[in-house]
Amino acid sequence: MKHLFLIILSIFSLACQAQEQQKPIKVGAECIEEYLPVLGGRRVAVLANHTAMVGEQHLVDMLVAENINLVGIFSPEHGFRGGADAGEHVKNSVDEKTGVPIWSLYDGNTKRPSDECMRAFDVLLVDMQDVGLRFYTYYISMVRMMDACADFGCEVIVLDRPNPNGMYVDGPVLDMKYKSGVGALPIPVVHGLTMGEIALMAKGEGWSKDCTLQVVKCENYTHQRRYELPIAPSPNLPTQHSIYLYPSTCLFEGTVCSLGRGTDFPFECYGHPSYKGAEFSFTPESRAGAKNPPLLEQQCWGVDLRGVDDEAVIAAGFNLEYVIDAYHNLAMGEKFFTRMFLLLTGVDYVREMIIEGKSAAEIRARWQPEVEEFKTLRRKYLLYEE
């Protein structure tokens, strides 16, 4: 009888989970009752870009319509409108629609705002769609702003959004001697955290200064639930498939190869003019979001990954097989890599083991223990079911 009861309970639990999966995800910005009341009578700034949508309306427009005293907009990499190249310097400007000043964190001078800007507001709203990778820079801008807010006594409110790669954790943990603009915290390449969870972890582990922090959670989200982004988070991640491949194909940024910047399918292929034995080819061209892509106007031969099933990409995780294939095919030795490869992987040993001829599985075994340690630490800060 007890066994039958447990079976019924298990079936009921699965049915409840299935029902939860059917409910639409509500992002933090849409939970306005959680944060709008605390903004009244205060000077508000936002750290946001084009992805900060509240339904059909941008967060900035909504705040202005609600008569919130919005004094400034901090813009991350790719700018407030999301169209700038990776790492491109973006000048300060003014939002044409609302007249609110835009303070760029990627103006080429400093990644930290001036004291004048910091004294202009009391509370910072953070709302940007992240994709869950250590080398995707939006979380870095957020952590830097958390440090600045701690120094000036400003409150930080993170309006959380799902992580489209939040269903797994993989890759080496950053060796902090390689801390850079593409890696700021001792976390794996695929960290499995939302922006809100990263903020909590950075504060809790002392990786950032101790600012006053609130996270407005998403509703009906779990880390295993697939979340299709309604808006491309940056110019060269135009599809959900590119976002799933991004952890693995981004490593080509640290090699002599092209990963398809300057084509219609960035991060969904890789190639080089000297790649041998391929039938597939592409030619990078100058275009919006990729003004001067690697191997510009050179025909590249290589591998088309657009046909690889999404679930197969996810199951493979942080996959070194693509880079290892290109490394052996081009037979250039150490010249295959640039310093950026060390910054992206965040450790010495991945590059060294590839040169030594180790397999992807052998290299994965090297980082697996530290990933397990991180996953244990990560659980302290999870806002959503794994």
What mean pLDDT value characterizes the chain?
Answer: 92
Query: Which of 228, 262, 297 is the endpoint of a domain?
Result: 228
The answer on 69 and 172 residing in a single domain is yes
Q: Is the pLDDT of residue 113 over 80?
A: yes
Query: Which of 207, 228, 249 is the endpoint of a domain?
Result: 228
Average pLDDT over residues 220-231: 97
Q: Is the pLDDT of residue 15 over 50?
A: no
The answer on 261 and 202 residing in a single domain is no
pLDDT at 82: 45
pLDDT at 80: 78
Average pLDDT over residues 215-235: 96
Token readout for 236 is 């060269």
Tell me if 102 sits within 8 A of 46, measured CB to CB: no
The answer on 115 and 52 residing in a single domain is yes
pLDDT at 85: 46
Share of the chain above pLDDT 70, in %: 90
Token readout for 209 is 């200064």
Query: Which of 179, 197, 228 is the endpoint of a domain?
Result: 228
The answer on 260 and 200 residing in a single domain is no
Stated pTM of the model: 0.90
Whole-number CA gyration radius for the chain = 22
Number of domains making up the chain? 2
**pLDDT by residue (tens digit) across 23-80?**
999 999 999 999 999 999 999 999 999 999 999 999 999 999 999 999 999 988 756 7
Q: Is the pLDDT of residue 337 over 50?
A: yes
Average pLDDT over residues 91-96: 79
Question: Domain residues for 220?
Answer: 28-228
Average pLDDT over residues 100-118: 81
The answer on 203 and 289 residing in a single domain is no
Which string of b and e fits 195-214 if b means at least 16 CB within 10 Å? Answer: bbbbbbbbbeeebbeebebe
